[in-house]
Amino acid sequence: MGLASLHSVSCSPTAPVHPEDAVILGALLPFSGSESAIGRNLEQAMLLAIEDLNAAGGLDGKPFDIVSRDSHSSSKRGLDQLLALLYLDDVHYVIGPEENDLARAISPDVKALDRFQMLPGYAAPAAARSEAMGGWMRLAPSPFAVGCALAKHAIHEGIDTVNTLAARDDYNASVSSEFESHFVALRGRVLPSVTFTSGELTYTSKIESALEPNAGRTLLAAYPATASTIVTEWTVSGRPGTWLLGPALRAEALLANIPAGSLDGYFGVSPSLSLRSECQLVDEAQETVSCTTENAAAFIKRFSSRWNGEAPFPAAHFYYDGVVLIAMGLVYAQATSGSIPSSGHALQAIIRELNSPENDVASWRDLKSAMAGLRAGIPLRYAGAAAEYEFDRYGANKHYFMQKWTIDSETFVDLAPVPVTCETDE
């Protein structure tokens, strides 16, 4: 299937030249199409990580490098480019894609080739499976964590009924389902919800159906392009009801395409960029959390100084970390076994081992010391630009806090984080 699909792949006319002995990482990003606004920013984060790693000595002197391909924000064209990374570029370490359906579509090839796939994106599929071939790691919070934080916020606000207006894609449907499940577990009541297919010409009837039950809050779970149409039509209708906003909606693209001030005062949650060590539970009964943001601010300053004042998107913090985590695993494997793992499954196990809580911490801000320690065979866990990493047995990063935010004067404003303390079925 993989090789047969490559005839339609359009490669760049001027392919980048990589150092002959470079360790190549591959990335699939949306440089064109509906999600193009984010692609270059995420690539800049990865290029910055490559520069920092090479300045820290690379892999025993061998430089790291990256080859990026364009998903075109399209499932069909994006799959062709993913297959090209695996079969034409022969990349063993893939970062991305952003699109959930593409990540699922490529998983049989990753497994068959026993490659490694790092998934930093918010909408990446769950890493809840054990495999003997292939390795996957998920860095951003799962829909479970998002749904838990949204439900806790609603309960703490005194809301007793909710429903959702959610897109039918895997990610937003999962966020909606988890939110409803957690809200019921917290003794709230879920009223009839509504789903829709993205790309419709109008959502007027869907909006009316979702707001008709008069729920205390209606979760809008969608991507910015669709949500901007929904919010515009909702504003024209007189702005009935009250929204909660899903994590994908913390995007400047949403604010730029809705009536001015229409969402001011509404709340949402998204991944917290505060390290776990920067947060403390102030009031256990009320689950009040206080976090500092010095680590995230330092990365923003570093990124902006490198890229002419441009600020990183929140997701860019995770993409930087994805590159570093792969490098740390390879450097440690080389030091302890004499070679880098040829198996994606083996690399995943090494990265999980390194990020065990009992290991000493290595910071993104001093990769030179971190790499020196790993080359000496010292296991080190990573405190990155987005999080302190600790993985479950499937390769999903554990998240303990989510960031609550609101919109004020058409600007996103961070509020107190929300703890993720909902119980799992495990």
Q: Is the pLDDT of residue 153 over 70?
A: yes
* pLDDT at residue 10 is higher than 80: no
pLDDT at 129: 66
Q: Is the pLDDT of residue 11 over 60?
A: no
Q: Cβ-count burial of 382 within 10 angstroms (0-12 exposed, 13-18 middle, 19+ buried)?
A: buried
In degrees, rounded to 5, the angle at the alpha carbon of residue 205 between the alpha carbons of residues 201 and 211 is 130
pLDDT band at residue 128, thresholds of 50, 70 and 90? Answer: low
Please, are residues 281 and 289 in contact by the beta-carbon 8 Å criterion?
Answer: yes
Contact 332, 379 (CB under 8 A): yes
Mean pLDDT for the stretch of residues 293-322: 96
pLDDT for 289 equals 87
- Does residue 89 have a pLDDT over 60? yes
pLDDT tens digit sequence for 181-202: 999 999 999 999 999 998 899 9
β pairing state of 217-221 and 243-245: parallel
pLDDT reported for residue 99? 78
**Closest CA relative to residue 218, chosen from 193, 195, 247, 181:** 193
Instruction: Pick the more confident residue, 170 or 14.
Output: 170
What is the pLDDT at residue 421?
86
Q: What is the pLDDT of residues 167-181, one digit of tens each?
A: 998 889 999 999 999
- What would the mean pLDDT of 321-346 be, rounded to a whole number? 97
- Average pLDDT taken over every residue of the chain: 91
Phi then psi for 269, rounded to 5 degrees? -130, 155
| Centroid of chain to Cα 6 | 28
**Pairwise CA distance, residues 140 & 386, whole Å:** 9
pLDDT in tens, 204-248: 999 999 999 999 999 999 989 899 999 999 999 999 999 999 999
Task: Work out the percent of the chain whose per-residue pLDDT is above 70.
Answer: 93
Which range (140-149, 278-287, 387-396) has the least confidence? 278-287
List, in sequence order, every residue forming a beta bridge with 62; answer none if it has no partner.
Answer: 59
More confident residue, 51 or 128: 51
What is the residue type of 363? S
For the segment 366-414, what is each residue's pLDDT rounded down to a tens digit? 999 999 999 999 999 999 999 999 999 999 999 999 999 999 998 999 9
pTM higher than 0.85 for the full model? yes
